[in-house]
Structure 1
Amino acid sequence: MLKRILVPIDGTEHSWRALEYACELVSYTRGSLVVMTVFSGRMKQHIVEFGSDCLYVQMGDEVLDAAHAILSGKNIDCTYLLENDNDIAESILRAVGEQDCDGIVLGSRG
């Protein structure tokens, strides 16, 4: 039974659907969520024009803040992670182990 689910989100419609689906799953099991955003160094270089990490952090915070707003009032235990890693898949898999997750829900497109 899924007790702790990792949900990687990137602000796309597909990631928000995955978050909603994960909410449904943990509501049946009384489990918890780990909501994570990962920005790769390549993506950061295209986004940040002034050589600063400020925009990267702001964008990550905005995505996690939006997730928090979606989850507020749902009475779901949730942990939020903001990561910066060139290998997004590796970062997600590492978080599964570090956060003791027994499942991953992510969007199938985007």
Structure 2
Amino acid sequence: MGMTKVLVPIDGSKESHQAFEYACETISPDTVVLLHVITPSSLYSHNADPGMYTEAMYEAQKERAEGLFETLRENTDIDPKIEIETIIDVGRPANKIVTFADENDVDHIVMGSKGRDGAARVLLGSVAETVVRRATVPTTVVR
């Protein structure tokens, strides 16, 4: 298809892995950007003042994200011609995804239909819904 840049938000869920595979195999872009958004609430320390987060907590989340990226690369058959970029950001996932796509010449967003299991499922499902409504580029939701 020859699209240049596809954004794939990654949260560690099976669905986000499937979105990455879909982007690589079906769209076959020049570049896939893997974006992991650390939510501010995951950085708060229960012992710190409200609104404060520790550098150690950020580093732990960043290492987790880098581990997710590495796992995807190792467990996905990727055409060597596809360039893989990785980005880690902090904020509200839907906002960060839409803003990144707008500001970085993204041609297409491919994302999972829901995120991690457990309590986060409803919240992350709404992330996909928000991105679909607000994105200015074609968005594919992989189930």
TM range (shorter): 0.7 to 0.9
> What residue is the counterpart of 1:100 in the other structure?
105
Partner of 2:7, secondary structure, is: strand
> What residue is the counterpart of 2:48 in the other structure?
none
- The structure number with the bigger radius of gyration is 2
> What residue is the counterpart of 2:43 in the other structure?
44
1:72 Cα offset (Å): 6.9
Q: CA RMSD in A?
A: 2.3
Say which of 76, 79, 82 aligns to 2:88. Answer: 82
Range moving further from structure 2, 89-98 or 4-13 = 89-98
Say which of 63, 83, 108 aligns to 2:68. Answer: 63
Identity %: 27
The alpha-carbon distance between structure 1 residues 104 and 91, as it changes in their structure 2 partners (threshold 3 A), is same
Range moving further from structure 2, 56-65 or 68-77 = 68-77
Distance 1:106 1:61 in 2: 18
Distance 1:98 1:25 in 2: 24
Unaligned runs of 5+ in 2: 46-52, 116-143
Range moving further from structure 2, 8-17 or 66-75 = 66-75
TM-score, normalised to structure 2, is: 0.63
- Give the letter aligned to residue 9 of structure 1: I
1:26–1:32 Cα contact (<8 Å) kept: no
Distance 2:13 2:64 in 1: 13
